[in-house]
Amino acid sequence: MTNKISLRYFWLSFASIGTVLSLDPCAFAGNTEVKGNMSITTSVIANCKASIVGNINVNFTGYDGVGANTSTGSDLINSSSASIGFTCSKDLSVSIELGYGNNANDTQRYLANTFNGDKILYNIKTPNGADWGDVAHNSALTVVSNGTNQATNITIIIPKGQNPSFANGSAYSDTISASMSY
């Protein structure tokens, strides 16, 4: 015994993309073969999700302006405690900008002593070692998304050779903003 399916009307609708296929019921009479084309289209939405991953309060172990971090010493570097994570549409060009902070002088970032206002300069670098800032100063980081969860590390450097104040316990800080555009 053979199973038989009788169709009078067959409607296939993709309302979200506006394509409708309609076949004439006479097309199924006898052994007549019906062929046709169906066009299906859509568009991809450019989209991103981003977050700060890891320690968003980057704390250095201590800057020693008269010892390890003198002009003949070494810079104080932190490159492992924070990153910016993102997932974006595949092959989307994404610009990641970092602000210059609350204590900046133009594009130079500073940590400020909360007691007396003394400052220590610091820099933020992209993974390839370039200064990392904003689009207006041609220093935003541009990446092309691979469509999966990605992260880019933040490297913060306090250059050697500074002699900061130790007033009131030596608390120095700054706050910067991060933003993505695509």
Range of the domain at 72: 48-181
Q: What is the CATH number of the domain that holds 60?
A: 2.60.40.1090
| 166: in domain | yes
Number of domains into which the chain is organized: 1
| 41: in domain | no
Q: What is the DSSP string of 127-152?
A: TTS-B---GGGT--EEEE--SS-EEE
| 15: in domain | no
d(CA 153, CA 13): 47
Query: What's the mean pLDDT when you consider all of the chain?
Result: 79
pLDDT at position 104 is 95
| 16: in domain | no
pLDDT digits (tens, 9 = 90+) for 158-168: 999 998 888 77
* Band (68; pLDDT cuts 50, 70, 90): confident
**Where is pLDDT greater, at 36 or 30?**
36
Q: Would the pLDDT of 131 be above 90?
A: yes
| 8: in domain | no
